[in-house]
């Protein structure tokens, strides 16, 4: 095995460089992953652009610890592993695997209660230097506390890099508790929104509506089984949903736009006692009439965060073909072209999910 590898390193906002780094040496209980594919997430774009959450704002420190290699949506093949790690994770050298994006501490109250996705330490691959270096690289060192899953036979290893957003979508979808007879609205047809649409179709609601402002994404939503698609840039989405439901509104609203308008729109179109599921990272605060939640509609606001216990479900959904990535993966780039990959990922008019292929 080579002594050096290529890796993208984030030094600061818009200061990302392709660099030669030593190939990590796994210690006891660790494994070395040969990366096959790694997705570019919306959070990666926020970090690249310099969002204060990641880099700090002068009042609060940022979550990102640079210089660090980004990348938390990844798949690959076990390159090196010792007996301890092999027994723990049930994988061996040469096995295709995915690794959950979060490295739980396993010591905080949340982890001990089983809510490891809410870990108080909250270390995630691709954001903290030296602890969880990410997978925009040829190799990635997997920490002993990580959650590792073997990719089932018949599932393409590179395609399995989308298991992370699908697992997030499974968590968000289950949070909404969709029932037969429900009117469901999915606002935002990005990767996670596209997966939620497919999951909702499997649940067979009374009516499935998708709202976005990109025609290409709405076309894809129709292929995924949406009954009605609404371009919120061209028509009044709230009026449309109210008209479709006799003025009552939707039972379940999935907010995956990450835009303040998506929140306000949802509160207006949801019916009384409806279920509003929030799964987005916002770039700006949202201001709304809070009395809608309690006094006017008595709705439930349900937050969902990443993917607790849902990776096995996501892997099975992809393997079985019940959920598809066709149309969602809109670009694959070699590591050397990471800058072009970032540009493509940011072009929401033509792109949804972009993969780096080290």
pLDDT in tens, 113-151: 999 999 999 999 999 999 999 999 999 999 999 999 999
Kindly state the average pLDDT of the residues 339-343: 98
Are 22 and 142 found together in one domain? yes
Strands 270-278 and 73-81: unpaired
How much is the pLDDT for 282? Answer: 82
pLDDT digits (tens, 9 = 90+) for 13-60: 999 999 999 999 999 999 999 999 999 999 999 999 998 989 998 888
On the question of pLDDT at 95 being above 80, the answer is yes
- Read off the pLDDT of each residue in 253-272 and give the average, rounded to a whole number: 97
What's the CA gap between 21 and 5, in Å, rounded?
A: 5
Q: 219-234, pLDDT tens digit by residue?
A: 999 999 999 999 999 9
292 and 242 in a common domain: yes
Q: pTM of the full predicted structure?
A: 0.97
24 plus 50 within the same structural domain: yes
Question: Quick check: is 156 in a domain?
Answer: no
What is the pLDDT at residue 21? 96
pLDDT of residue 206 exceeding 80: yes
Give the CATH number, domain containing residue 299.
Answer: 3.40.50.720
Instruction: Note the pLDDT of residue 281.
Output: 84
The Cα 92–Cα 225 span in angstroms is 39
Residues 275-321 have pLDDT tens digits of: 999 999 887 889 999 999 999 999 999 999 999 999 999 999 999 99
Q: Are residue 194 and residue 243 in the same domain, yes or no?
A: yes
Beta-carbon count within 10 A of 61 CB: 10
The predicted pLDDT at position 302 comes to 98
Percent of the chain residues past pLDDT 90, beyond the cut: 95
Residue 163 pLDDT exceeds 90: yes
- Domain boundary residue, one of 286, 303, 320: 303
- Cβ partners under 8 Å of residue 104, min gap 6: 111, 116, 117, 119, 121, 145, 147
349 in any annotated domain: yes
Are 172 and 145 members of one domain?
no
Residues contacting residue 297 through CB under 8 Å, at least 6 positions apart? 267, 270, 271, 272, 273, 274
Q: Are 98 and 163 in contact (CB under 8 A)?
A: yes
- Residue 12's pLDDT is 96
CB atoms closer than 10 angstroms to residue 311: 21
Determine the pLDDT at residue 139.
98
329-336 average pLDDT score:
98
Q: Is residue 80 part of a domain?
A: yes
Mean pLDDT score of the chain: 96
The neighbouring-strand residues paired with 285 are none
pLDDT of residue 276: 98
Taking only Cα atoms into account, the Rg of the chain, rounded to an integer number of angstroms, comes to 21
- Among residues 276, 314, 54, 316, the alpha carbon closest in space to that of 165 is found at 314
Specify the CATH number for the domain of residue 93. Answer: 3.90.180.10
pLDDT of residue 1: 77
Q: Rounded CA gap, 275 and 100, in Å?
A: 28
Domain range enclosing 138:
4-150+328-357
Q: What is the pLDDT of residue 58?
A: 85
Q: Is residue 160 part of a domain?
A: no
Beta strands in the chain (DSSP E): 4-12, 15-22, 31-39, 73-81, 96-99, 102-103, 123-124, 139-142, 148-150, 183-187, 207-212, 228-231, 250-255, 270-278, 300-303, 329-334, 353-357
Helix boundaries (H) for 186-337: 191-203, 215-223, 237-244, 260-269, 311-320
Do residues 124 and 204 both lie within one domain? no
Q: How many domains, in total, are found in the chain?
A: 2
pLDDT of residue 356: 98
Q: Which tokens go with 278?
A: 């929030």
């Amino acid at each position: 095995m080579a002594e050096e590898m290529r890796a993208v390193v984030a030094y600061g906002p818009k200061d990302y460089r392709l660099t030669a780094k030593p190939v990590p040496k796994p210690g006891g209980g660790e494994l070395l992953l040969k990366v096959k594919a790694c997705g570019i997430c919306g959070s990666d774009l926020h970090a690249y652009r310099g969002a204060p959450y990641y880099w700090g704002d002068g009042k609060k420190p940022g979550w990102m610890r640079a210089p660090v290699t980004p990348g938390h949506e990844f798949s690959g093949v076990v390159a090196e592993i010792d007996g301890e790690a092999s027994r723990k994770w049930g994988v061996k050298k040469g096995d295709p695997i995915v690794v959950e994006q979060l490295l739980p501490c396993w010591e905080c109250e949340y982890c001990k209660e089983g809510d490891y996705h809410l870990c108080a330490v909250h270390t995630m691959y691709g954001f903290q230097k030296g602890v969880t270096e990410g997978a925009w690289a040829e190799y990635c060192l997997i920490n002993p506390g990580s959650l590792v899953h073997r990719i089932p036979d018949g599932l393409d290893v590179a395609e399995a890099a989308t298991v992370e957003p699908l697992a997030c979508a499974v968590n968000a979808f289950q949070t909404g508790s969709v029932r037969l007879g429900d009117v469901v609205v999915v606002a935002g047809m990005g990767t996670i929104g596209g997966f939620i649409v497919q999951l909702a179709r499997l649940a067979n609601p009374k009516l499935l509506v998708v709202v976005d402002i990109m025609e290409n994404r709405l076309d894809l939503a129709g292929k995924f089984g949406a009954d009605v698609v609404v371009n919120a840039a061209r028509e009044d989405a709230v009026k449309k949903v109210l008209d479709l439901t006799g003025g009552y509104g939707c039972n379940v609203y999935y907010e995956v736009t990450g835009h303040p308008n998506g929140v306000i729109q949802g509160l207006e179109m949801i019916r009384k006692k409806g279920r509003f599921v929030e799964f987005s990272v916002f770039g700006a605060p949202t201001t709304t009439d809070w009395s809608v939640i309690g006094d006017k509609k008595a709705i439930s606001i349900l937050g969902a965060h990443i993917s607790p216990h849902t990776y096995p479900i996501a892997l099975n959904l992809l393997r079985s073909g019940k959920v598809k990535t066709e149309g969602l993966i809109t670009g694959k780039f070699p590591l050397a072209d990471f800058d072009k990959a970032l540009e493509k990922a940011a072009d929401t008019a033509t792109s949804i999910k972009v993969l780096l292929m080290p």
